[in-house]
Amino acid sequence: MDVLFYICAALAVLAALNVVLQRTPVYSALSLIVVMCALAVVYLLLDAEFMAVIQVIVYAGAVMVLFVFVIMLLNAGRETPGQHSQLARWLGVPLVAALLLEVLTVVWTQFPAESFAPAAALDAGPKAIGQRLFQVYVLPFEVTSILILVAILGAVVLAKKET
């Protein structure tokens, strides 16, 4: 099981790097799909089948399809590096390294390995998640729904203006 975790984790990290390094948008989008699927396998290894399947359905199956759809619609080819890409390269890499270091320090100091509960002890089935969502976290859930509704209305208004 551990071997599978390391394979998927490495795959996720490599694919995530590829998302940034690729110059062709379609390849970037495809790499992002690989990241999502690798994460789904990690969820599966944590005994969270429901989360794994939802991860694939929502992110890989719906969100990324829209990305690929838009890239295809614009028929975007290879990107050419512009004036600002040089600046981004020299400034971006140190900033990313600093952020990574920061996150790792916080994780290592705040969450020692003993403090983790074994995954099997948590119930991650659809029933448990549904009850949490509609009892404990019902307010954030509804607020998110309204946020998405507002976004949809905004998209409709923007689309109407075009024609």
Positions that interact with another protein (CB under 8 A): 26-27, 30, 33, 49-50, 53-54, 56-57, 60-62, 65-66, 68-69, 71-73, 75, 125-126
- Hey, what are 46's tokens? 């944590």
The CB-of-33 to another protein minimum distance in angstroms stands at: 7
75 phi-psi bin (left φ>0, alpha ψ -120 to 50, beta other): left
CB atoms within 10 A of CB 13: 12
**Which lies closer to another protein via its Cβ, residue 126 or residue 154?**
126
Which amino acid, one-letter code, is at 62? A
Judged by CB, which is closer to another protein: 74, or 157?
A: 74
CB of 65 to another protein, least distance (A): 6
CB 92 within 8 A of CB 47: no
CB of 68 to another protein, least distance (A): 6
